Chain A
Amino acid sequence: MENAIEVNNLVKDFGSLRAVDNVSFTVRRGEVLGFLGPNGAGKSTTMKMITGFLEPTRGTVSLCGHDVREEPIAAKRVLGYLPEGAPAYGEMTPRSFLNFIADIRGLKGSNRKERIDDVVKKIHIEGVMEQPIETLSKGFKRRVGMAQAILHDPEVLIMDEPTDGLDPNQKHEVRTLIKEMAKDKAIIISTHILEEVDAVCDRAIIIAKGKLLFDGTPTELIAKSKYHNAVALVMNTGQCEAARMVLLDLPSVLSVEIEELPAGLSQLLIIPKDGQSIVATISDLAHEKGWEISQLMVETGRIDEVFRDVTIGAPDKLTEEEHLT
């Protein structure tokens, strides 16, 4: 059983609106899948169907071999889920809330105590265990929701925007935690923080208007950027027009963008054709022409730009076509 999560041809209609349109993908154990998409793209709806909360109009989902609709209880046993906004019973304390979850999950005896202690320590909620959840800050609420999701050490972990509303340190902690847990679990996280995909995910999926538009590694996603392997040069503004002409003559260069910086400097952003590596050529050329270069950087690509391209269609059709020829 390689694939812990299998999603096949999932369709969800709300009245005449098709919220999710024929989405299929799989997640292996040991893999973290990042679920991307603009708001209202069908991310949460898809997650709600995977977790069995919503019934799909068509299609199937299986978690560790258990079909979510045929064997809902068996599927939910292997699942840990953090719903969007981390809902929890506000009047309960984190301790009583986790005890309730442990009851439902059938955790008993010493194992139960061990699991609760372990999770509380991992998530760092020791200090708020006796406060009503409704009085906690957003960050702590989110953490209590995560604690609930991983309490039974599930094989499948699904988290809808786990780092939303956390401060940078908390985000870092949550990402570290996800990476730690990734070894023996299949994890899906949805997010619209794009750097998160690069930081924690092995694979990314982009959904927009209910359709699956991209499925690949973050590296592949970045490679789709026209800024992938682009080179940024900073030099005197006086020299840059001439340099641009020279650079545009290179067969590997697609275009050069000039941006003026303070103190008489300008930045040339040299965009390569087909994302090929041009840094060696350019540094040789700079040497040969004797340009005074105060900075040279290679861009890996701009994930937010790829995201825009994929989700609202290429904004720059002409370059895209040139790029392909």
Chain B
Amino acid sequence: MKNRKIIRAFDAIQPDKALEARVLNKILQKRRRKRPVLKTAVSLATAAVICLAMFGAPLLTPRADNAFSIKAYAMEQQTDGSVALREVDLINLPHVWSAYIDDENIYLNVRLKCEGENIKSVDFFTDDAFFAKQYIKMKNGKIVTGNVSMLYVGESQTLAMYGTDFEIVGNTLTLDQDTMTDDLLLFLGTENIEGLVPSAMTVHAAVTFDDGETREETLVLDFTDEGVGIKSPAQ
């Protein structure tokens, strides 16, 4: 039941276009806001295993010209201590995803690589999370261990985490052929809310080719099956 006085009263609150634009700008700024770099965490004491989701499948979209595809890669330690990159068949091969959980954030290991002809760079963007990086110390083709806590998952012992320091990048990440290196581990990070890993995350990839053309693809990573989560001792 409407009331004229109340309608008139509220109708007086009439935001103008400038206000509308200003608030929209605020929204976009908040969305783009970067998180502070995570402080150094303590070394792992014990692992808490959380069974959660299965790593989703990448979107493979072959195209006639300027073809590219987004693939997932796993870094595996070989018997001689060296590491090799193996493309992960995320559709047919059961795969255990992994996560590191500390007081503030959850870091999900993903390794996305863009392969194709004439690729100049790739911009990854996600609304659901932020990107974080780790760089693996290598010497003579072998992983430097020492006091570094590392996480290996799956039957093939895939390296999923190297230490507990993460470089938080933000919700956009640009990689080119020079920066998509073998010692790079990529993570999707999200706020630690009761230690729950999100069921899915969406990542957009915009590829720029040498001739200036751009193409876009979208990945939906599904974390609704088995996985391994490691919590920091504080958790």
Determine if chain A interacts with chain B: no
Binding site for B on A (CB under 8 A): none
